[in-house]
């Protein structure tokens, strides 16, 4: 059902894009819009991972430089039946994480220094499993496509304001162009948010099953949500269009970009995880505290217990 709903939403986003192109330039405008969108999607298909990792100054780590972190990703990737993704670390105090890449064979998981310092091993396992679920579900490519189409709609809406539609009676005219400039990007944003929320619930469910303990992820979500309102993520503040990629909205909430949420409410996500935990026979209300990574060396080896995925 989640995939069907996502497909419908993506089709609606594409239809909105094509309709806007038609109203601005007629049939030829719709075709030009389609060609432009195809070119943008092709570019982002091959380059989106490098672009977003560069935005956040993420640097790649390996088994030598971050043995515990990379080992945890490898264990969970094996349990999920995925190729080993590349692992990146972002120098951000806010605990958060995202996955990127066009397919499971070319994927990356990026985490902040804040998340490995503040979460227990079990909670971090829940977060990483969530990101691996996005990779397994091909959400990383889907969200890149939706963001690209939404951006193209906003761009076309700006063109419509200047050109006032194609030169016949069916054009939107000045008032119609103003309405398009406002309503088309808003509609695209709402559809993008709906897709993002649908995929977050799906990744929570699959990620919890990969880790084997839904409440590990639930506990992590509570901690990240609390920290996100107190600790700014400067990379996300500079690039708000990427906020939907993170496991929790990284934006501070002080700007216009946060009038509409890109993620489901954390309370609802935790409730869904609690229900899943009860179904799986692990209905504990909170994740075990576990062994924290030592301060100042969040990716060093520790005596943290291995999870049940090993």
Q: Supply the residues annotated as catalytic.
A: 131
d(CA 217, CA 206): 11
Is 259 in contact with 76 (CB distance < 8 Å)? no
- Radius of gyration (C-alpha) of the chain in whole angstroms: 21
Q: What is the dihedral of CA 38, 185, 240, 104, to 10 degrees?
A: -40
- Scanning the structure block, which residue is given the tokens 């977060």? 127
Tell the residue number behind the tokens 């761009």, with chain if given: 155
Distance CA 247, CA 166 (A): 42
- Cα–Cα distance for residue pair 260/242, rounded to 1 Å: 14
Q: Is residue 192 within 8 Å of 147, Cβ to Cβ?
A: yes
């Amino acid at each position: 059902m989640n995939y069907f709903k996502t497909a419908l939403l993506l089709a609606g986003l594409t239809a909105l894009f094509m309709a806007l192109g038609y109203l601005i330039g007629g049939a030829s405008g719709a075709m030009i819009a389609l060609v432009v969108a195809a070119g943008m999607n092709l570019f982002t298909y091959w380059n989106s991972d490098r672009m977003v990792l560069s935005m956040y100054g993420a640097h790649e780590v390996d088994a030598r430089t971050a043995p515990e972190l990379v080992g945890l990703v490898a264990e969970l990737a094996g349990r999920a039946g995925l190729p080993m993704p590349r692992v990146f670390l972002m120098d951000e105090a806010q605990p958060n994480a995202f996955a990127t890449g066009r397919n499971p064979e070319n994927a990356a998981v990026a985490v902040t220094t804040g998340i490995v310092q503040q979460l227990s091993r079990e909670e971090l396992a829940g977060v990483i499993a969530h990101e691996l679920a996005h990779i397994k579900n091909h959400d990383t490519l889907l969200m890149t496509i939706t963001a690209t189409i939404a951006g193209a709609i906003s761009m076309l809406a700006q063109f419509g304001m200047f050109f006032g539609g194609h030169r016949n009676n069916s054009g939107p005219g000045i008032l119609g162009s103003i309405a398009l400039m406002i309503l088309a990007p808003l509609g695209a944003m709402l559809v993008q948010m709906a897709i993002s929320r649908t995929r977050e619930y799906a990744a929570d469910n699959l990620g919890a099953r990969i880790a084997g303990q839904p409440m590990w992820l639930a506990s992590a979500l509570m901690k990240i949500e609390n920290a996100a309102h107190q600790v700014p993520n400067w990379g996300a503040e500079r690039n708000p269009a990427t906020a939907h990629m993170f496991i929790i909205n990284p934006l501070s909430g002080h700007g216009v970009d946060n009038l509409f949420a890109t993620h489901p409410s954390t309370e609802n996500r935790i409730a869904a995880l609690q229900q899943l935990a009860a179904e799986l026979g692990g209905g504990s209300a909170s994740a075990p505290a576990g062994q924290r990574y030592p301060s100042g060396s969040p990716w060093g080896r520790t005596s943290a217990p291995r999870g049940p995925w090993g």
